[in-house]
A and B are shown apart, each in its own frame.
Chain A
Amino acid sequence: MATRGNRENQDHSASETLQLDGIRWRRGAEKEEYSRSTGLRLAPGTITLIMGPNGAGKSTLLEKIAGLRPPEGLQTIYGTEALWISGWTGRKRLNELALRRYGYACQSPEEGLFARSVREELDYSLKPYKVAEEKREELRDSAIRAVGWEPSGWLTRDPYQMSGGERRRSALASVFVTPSPWLLLDEPTAGLDGAGHETVARELANLRESGKGIVLVSHDSDWAMALADGVLLLSRDGSLRFCSRNELLEHPEWLEDTGMSIPEWLRVANLLCRSGVSSDKIWNPAAVAKAWPTAPIRSEGMLEKVEEEASRQSETVVRAEKKKSHRLKGFDPRSVWLSYVLISTGLLALADWVALGVGGLIVCLLLYAGRVSLKRWHSMILSFVIFSVLTSAIFAWGASGEGGAFEGGAFLATLLTFTRTLFILLLGLAIPLVMSPLSLRRALEQLLTFRGKLPKRAQQLTLIVALMMRFVPVLLELWERFVRIFLSRGKSISRNPIAIGRRLRDVSIPFLLALFRLGDEVTLALESRGVGLDARPTQGTRLRWKKRDYGFVLGALVLAVGLWGFTNR
Chain B
Amino acid sequence: MRVAEPENIVLKDVSVFGDNTDGELSVRLEDINLVMAPGEWLSVVGVNGSGKSTLARLLAGLQADHVTGEIIRGFAGQSCPIVLQQPKSQLFGETPREEVVFALQWRGIALENINALVERALNRTGLTAVADSTWDRLSGGQQQLAAIAAATAGETKLLVLDEATSMLDDSNRDAVMRIARDLNRNGTAVVWVTQRLDELEPDSRVVAIGGGSVIFDGESREFLYGISEELVEAKEARGRRSVSPCLRAGLRLPYLAAMAMELRDIGKLNDPLPMTALEWGKVLENVGDEGK
Q: Check if A298 sits within 8 Å of B285, measured CB to CB.
A: yes
User: How many Å from the CB of B102 to the closest CB on chain A?
Assistant: 6
Q: Check if B21 sits within 8 Å of A269, measured CB to CB.
A: no
Q: Check if B169 sits within 8 Å of A436, measured CB to CB.
A: no
Tell me, in angstroms, the Cα distance from A323 to B136 when the chains sit together.
8
Bitwise, B223-265 to A at CB < 8 A (1) or not (0) is 0000000000000000000000001001111111011011101
Partner of B255 from A261, A285, A294, A518 at Cβ < 8 Å: A285
- List the B side residues contacting A299 at CB < 8 Å: 281, 284-285
Q: Check if A538 sits within 8 Å of B262, measured CB to CB.
A: no
- List the B side residues contacting A223 at CB < 8 Å: 252, 255
Q: Does B84 sit within 8 A of A, measured CB to CB?
A: yes
Q: Check if B133 sits within 8 Å of A318, measured CB to CB.
A: yes
Known contacts A265-B256, A289-B263, A540-B111, A192 near B48 by CB under 8 Å: yes
Q: Check if A525 sits within 8 Å of B140, measured CB to CB.
A: no
- List the B side residues contacting A530 at CB < 8 Å: 79, 103, 106-108
Which of B7-15, B57-65, B184-192 faces chain A? B57-65
Known contacts A314-B171, A325-B134, A528-B79, A194 near B89 by CB under 8 Å: no
Known contacts A54-B141, A314-B178, A436-B94, A265 near B255 by CB under 8 Å: yes
Tell me, in angstroms, the Cα distance from A165 to B259 when the chains sit together.
27
31-80 of chain B: CB within 8 A of chain A: 47-49, 57, 60, 62-63, 78-80
Q: Check if B79 sits within 8 Å of A538, measured CB to CB.
A: no
Bitwise, B248-292 to A at CB < 8 A (1) or not (0) is 001111111011011101101000000011101100111111000
Bitwise, A443-479 to B at CB < 8 A (1) or not (0) is 0000000000000000000000011001000100100
Partner of B171 from A53, A191, A323, A540 at Cβ < 8 Å: A53
Q: Does B175 sit within 8 A of A, measured CB to CB?
A: yes
Bitwise, A151-173 to B at CB < 8 A (1) or not (0) is 00000000011011100100000
Q: Check if B106 sits within 8 Å of A529, measured CB to CB.
A: yes
Q: Check if B114 sits within 8 Å of A538, measured CB to CB.
A: yes
Tell me, in angstroms, the Cα distance from A191 to B280 when the chains sit together.
27
User: How many Å from the CB of A497 to the closest CB on chain B?
Assistant: 33
- List the A side residues contacting B88 at CB < 8 Å: 474, 477
Q: Check if B106 sits within 8 Å of A436, measured CB to CB.
A: no
Q: Does A555 sit within 8 A of B, measured CB to CB?
A: no
Q: Check if B141 sits within 8 Å of A268, measured CB to CB.
A: no
User: How many Å from the CB of B20 to the closest CB on chain A?
Assistant: 8
Q: Check if A525 sits within 8 Å of B82, measured CB to CB.
A: yes
User: How many Å from the CB of A537 to the closest CB on chain B?
Assistant: 4
Partner of B250 from A195, A296, A303 at Cβ < 8 Å: A195
Q: Does B198 sit within 8 A of A, measured CB to CB?
A: yes
Q: Check if A264 sits within 8 Å of B198, measured CB to CB.
A: yes
- List the A side residues contacting B268 at CB < 8 Å: 289, 292
Which of A164, A264, A323, A529 has its CB near the most chain B CB atoms (within 10 A)? A529
Q: Does B98 sit within 8 A of A, measured CB to CB?
A: yes
258-308 of chain A: CB within 8 A of chain B: 259-261, 263-265, 267-269, 271-272, 275, 285-286, 288-290, 292-299, 302-304, 306-307
The size bracket of the interface on A is 35 or more
Tell me, in angstroms, the Cα distance from A219 to B163 when the chains sit together.
15
- List the A side residues contacting B81 at CB < 8 Å: 528-529
Known contacts A285-B258, A299-B284, A524-B84, A164 near B48 by CB under 8 Å: yes
Q: Does B146 sit within 8 A of A, measured CB to CB?
A: no
- List the A side residues contacting B261 at CB < 8 Å: 285
Q: Check if B62 sits within 8 Å of A54, measured CB to CB.
A: no
Known contacts A295-B287, A470-B92, A521-B86, A191 near B178 by CB under 8 Å: no
Known contacts A289-B268, A319-B139, A437 near B262 by CB under 8 Å: no
Tell me, in angstroms, the Cα distance from A318 to B141 when the chains sit together.
11
Bitwise, A300-342 to B at CB < 8 A (1) or not (0) is 0011101100110111101100110100000000000000000
Q: Check if B79 sits within 8 Å of A527, measured CB to CB.
A: yes
Which of A160, A197, A264 has its CB near the most chain B CB atoms (within 10 A)? A264
Q: Check if B106 sits within 8 Å of A191, measured CB to CB.
A: no
Q: Check if B287 sits within 8 Å of A296, measured CB to CB.
A: yes
108-154 of chain B: CB within 8 A of chain A: 108-111, 114, 126, 129-130, 133-134, 136-142, 150-151
- List the B side residues contacting A193 at CB < 8 Å: 47-48, 250-252
- List the B side residues contacting A194 at CB < 8 Å: 47, 247, 250-253
Tell me, in angstroms, the Cα distance from A316 to B178 when the chains sit together.
13
- List the B side residues contacting A271 at CB < 8 Å: 284
Nearest opposing residue in chain A for B168, CB measure:
A54
Tell me, in angstroms, the Cα distance from A405 to B168 when the chains sit together.
64
Q: Does A366 sit within 8 A of B, measured CB to CB?
A: no
Tell me, in angstroms, the Cα distance from A329 to B289 when the chains sit together.
67
- List the B side residues contacting A318 at CB < 8 Å: 129-130, 133, 137-138
Q: Check if B278 sits within 8 Å of A303, measured CB to CB.
A: yes
Tell me, in angstroms, the Cα distance from A497 to B84 when the chains sit together.
40
List 9 A–B pairs whose Cβ atoms lie within 8 Å, in order of A's numbering: A193-B48, A222-B254, A265-B256, A289-B259, A296-B285, A296-B289, A298-B284, A307-B278, A529-B92
Interfacial residues, chain A to chain B (CB-CB below 8 A): 53-55, 160-161, 163-165, 168, 190-195, 197-198, 219-220, 222-223, 226, 259-261, 263-265, 267-269, 271-272, 275, 285-286, 288-290, 292-299, 302-304, 306-307, 310-311, 313-316, 318-319, 322-323, 325, 436-438, 466-467, 470, 474, 477, 518, 521-522, 524-531, 533, 535-541
- 12 additional contacts (CB under 8 A) given A192-B47, A323-B136, A529-B81: A222-B254, A295-B288, A310-B174, A311-B178, A316-B141, A524-B57, A524-B82, A525-B92, A528-B62, A530-B106, A531-B106, A538-B114
